[in-house]
Amino acid sequence: MLLKRNSRVINLRGRAIAKGDVRYMNFYFAPMEGLTGYIYRNAHNAFFNNIDKYFSPFIVANQSESFKTRELNDILPENNKGLVLIPQLLTNNAKDFIHTSKKIKQLGYNEINLNLGCPSGTVVSKNKGAGFLSKKEELNVFLDEIFSKSITKISLKTRLGIDQPEEFYDLIEIFNQYPLEELIIHPRTQKDFYKNKPNLKIFKEALILSKNPVCYNGDIFTSKDYKEFSVDFPSVDTLMVGRGLLANPGLNSYITDNIKLEKELLKDFHDKIYEDYKKILFGERTVLFKMKELWFYMIPVFSDNVKYAKKIKKSERLCDYDEAVSSLFRERDILESYINS
Ligand SMILES: Cc1cc2nc3c(=O)[nH]c(=O)nc-3n(C[C@H](O)[C@H](O)[C@H](O)COP(=O)(O)O)c2cc1C
C-alpha cells in the first residue's frame, strides 16, 4: 500500500521507493549539538515540513536517574509536536543506556539512536562516540546487552573507525550481529573530524556488506552534490543531512520538488528561531551566542557575505544584531549555486 506525504510516495515502513524514473528519498536532519535543538527543529518543521526524521543532539546517558533540564526539554513530546524525533544517546555503558532508554520509552519514543561518531577529544578520550569504535570487544558486549533487553528499536550513527577507514571491515562484522533499525554511516574516520572527503569507496563496500538498512551521511550541501551522489549510489534511499540543511533549510524541498529557497521565507524562518530563543534564553548574550553559532552555517548561502558575517559576529547587543541581519537580507541575495544547480 502506498501513502502520499509531502508529495513523496512512501511505503508503509516509511522507506522511499522508486516509481518509474522518479527516485524517492527519505531525508533525515542530522543531530547537531547546540544548533538543532527543539527551537530550531520546530521552526524548521513549521516552515519546510519535509523531513522524515529529526535526530536530537546527543544526550549523555550516565548513572543519574534524571535528565538534565535542557536535555529533557529537548525531547519532551510537547516540545516536538507534529514531527518525528529520534532521541540520540552517547554512552559506552550498557546499564546507563538501558535505564535511560526506559525513561525515553516512557516519554513515548520507540527508537533510540546511539552516537558512535562524535570525534571531539573530550568524548573520544572517554571511549565514547567515535572513541568507542576503538574498543571492538567492549562495543560488541555493549551491543549484545542493549539488544538483548530490546526496550526500543535501536539505530547506530557511526564513522568508519578511528585512524584508518579499513577499520570498518571489523566494525561491520560486529554491527551485522544485531537487528539495527538502521546503520547511519558518516564515512570519515575520527581523525578526519570534518576534513578530507567522505570515503565513498568504503561506503560502497559497506552497502554490500551491511545486513541492516544503511543511511548515508556527509557533505551533501547542494542539489548538485545530491545528484552526483544518487548517480553513484542508486540503491541508497535514505540520506541524513546536517550542515547542508543548516545552510539551505529548504535543500531537500529543492531536491525533491524543485522548490527554490526564497529569501523572504529564510528571513521569516530566521525571525521565528530568533524570537523563540528570546523567549526561552536568559540574557542578550546567550541569545546572541546561539544565533551567531547558527550564522556560521547559514551565511555561505548569501552572496558577498564577508562584511555582513563580520557585523553579525561583532554585534554585542540585540539592536546591533538586528541591524546587521536586516542589512544582510536587504542588500544581499541567495547565491545561484544554492538554488540553481
Ligand atoms: C557543530 C556540530 C555538532 C554536531 N553534533 C552532533 C551530535 O550531537 N550527534 C551526532 O551524532 N552528530 C553530531 N554532529 C555530526 C553531524 O550529525 C553530521 O554527522 C556531520 O555534520 C556530517 O554531516 P553533514 O556533512 O551533512 O553536515 C555534529 C556536527 C557539528 C558540525
Segment 202-241, tens digit of pLDDT: 999 999 999 999 999 999 999 999 999 999 999 999 999 9
Reply yes or no on whether the pLDDT at 13 is more than 50.
no
Distance 330 CA to ligand 1 centre (A): 31
What does the mean pLDDT of the chain come to? 93
Residue 186, phi then psi, degrees to nearest 5: -100, 100
Ligand 1 binding pocket includes 32 (Cβ within 6 Å)? yes
61-104 pLDDT tens trace: 988 878 999 999 999 999 999 999 999 999 999 999 999 999 99
Q: What is the pLDDT of residue 66?
A: 86
Reply yes or no on whether the pLDDT at 51 is more than 60.
yes
Cell numbers representing residue 169 in the block: 571491515
pLDDT band at 10; cut points 50, 70, 90: very low
The model's pTM: 0.94
The best mutation among 32, 55, 251 to test binding of ligand 1, ranked by most ligand atoms within 8 Å of the C-beta, falls on: 32
- H or E stretch covering 59: strand 59-60
Residue of the CA atom closest to atom 23 of ligand 1: 218
For residues 109 and 75, the answer to whether their CB atoms sit within 8 Å is yes
DSSP 83: S
Torsional sign, CA 12, 17, 20, 23 = positive
Reply yes or no on whether the pLDDT at 319 is more than 50.
yes
Least confident of 141-145, 257-261, 321-325: 257-261
Q: What is the pLDDT of residue 22?
A: 54
Ligand 1 binding pocket includes 186 (Cβ within 6 Å)? yes
Ligand 1 binding pocket includes 37 (Cβ within 6 Å)? no
Q: What is the pLDDT of residue 341?
A: 62
pLDDT band at 186; cut points 50, 70, 90: very high
Quote the CA–CA distance of 123 and 35 in Å, as a whole number.
Answer: 18
